[in-house]
Amino acid sequence: MSETFEELYGQQLKEVFKTQAREHIEKGADALESSRAYAEQGKPEFTLAFLLLADLPEDEKRELLAHSYERRAVLSEMKAKQLDVQFHRSFPLIKIEAQKDRQLARTIRRGE
């Protein structure tokens, strides 16, 4: 039997993100709306925290989490370009992290 979304990804999330998500839910926030908002901001840790509390099919959770990593990669690359122009030098580590985020997105989509 394959592992659930929570089994695959829940253990890697720091407790502070889980606590913050629970507190927001207790104050009336919607888990799915919050996870989508954080995904668009490229914040996979918060996206994951809210997805763990959301009532959503596993494949949709994986897709939203993968999107969050891809969005962070795009935002990181944009920031790297901005810094390239500002400081007249490249920032390869930011680009490497963006590549890692894209790889993570592919891995998540495969359910690994």
The model's pTM is: 0.94
Question: Into how many domains does the chain fold?
Answer: 1
Residue 2 has pLDDT above 90, yes or no: no
Domain that holds residue 17: 5-109
Burial tier of 39 (Cβ tally within 10 Å: 0-12, 13-18, 19+): buried
The upper half-sphere exposure of residue 48, i.e. CA atoms within 13 Å in the direction of its Cβ, equals: 21
The tens digit of pLDDT for each residue in 19-44 reads 999 999 999 999 999 999 999 999 99
Residue pair 35/51 in contact (Cβ under 8 Å)? The answer is yes
Q: What is the pLDDT of residues 64-107, one digit of tens each?
A: 999 999 999 999 999 999 999 999 999 999 999 999 999 999 99
Give me the residue label for tokens 């370009």.
Answer: 81
Pick from 76, 12, 80: which is nearest to 43 by CA? Answer: 76
Residue 9: pLDDT band with limits 50, 70, 90: very high
